[in-house]
Amino acid sequence: MPSNGLLIDYDYCTGCLSCEIACKQEHNLPVGKWGIKVLEFGPMEVKPDRYLISYIPYPTDLCNLCEERVRKGKPPSCVQHCQAKVMKFGALDDLAADLKKKPKMLLWAPR
């Protein structure tokens, strides 16, 4: 079982796609392949004239948490380039403790 993972606070994701672009460049991924993909939910009307659009960065099976970068003491490329700072990399136990503090987060670790 992996000891490190990502904690993604998608409540604050702006949908800028910096994580997608950084990952594609880091791993030289071709068109149609992603290590992390930003999913868009909405727009959905929640009240008259009030809409919700959520963006959720979702790591795919191609994500290896930038093993080479992490070995060099650097964070995964998606974490480093996230402009809204919604991603945190670290030990799963620490991330799981943070997850309890806020419901709109996603904890992910590669298989």
pTM for the model stands at 0.86
Task: Please give the CATH topology (third level) of the domain spanning 4-108.
Answer: Alpha-Beta Plaits (3.30.70)
pLDDT of 111 above 80? no
Asked whether the predicted pLDDT for residue 74 surpasses 90, the reply is: yes
Q: Where are the domains of the chain?
A: 4-108
Q: Is the pLDDT of residue 32 over 80?
A: yes
**Tens of pLDDT, residues 85-107:** 999 999 999 999 998 888 778 88
Question: What pairs with residue 91 in β-bridges?
Answer: 4
Rounded Cα gap, residues 98 and 41, in angstroms:
24
Structure tokens at 108: 């992910």
Which helix (H) or strand (E) element contains residue 53?
A: strand 50-59
Q: What is the pLDDT of residues 42-73, one digit of tens each?
A: 999 999 999 999 999 999 999 999 999 999 99
Q: What is the pLDDT of residue 1?
A: 47
9: phi then psi, degrees, rounded to nearest 5? -95, 85
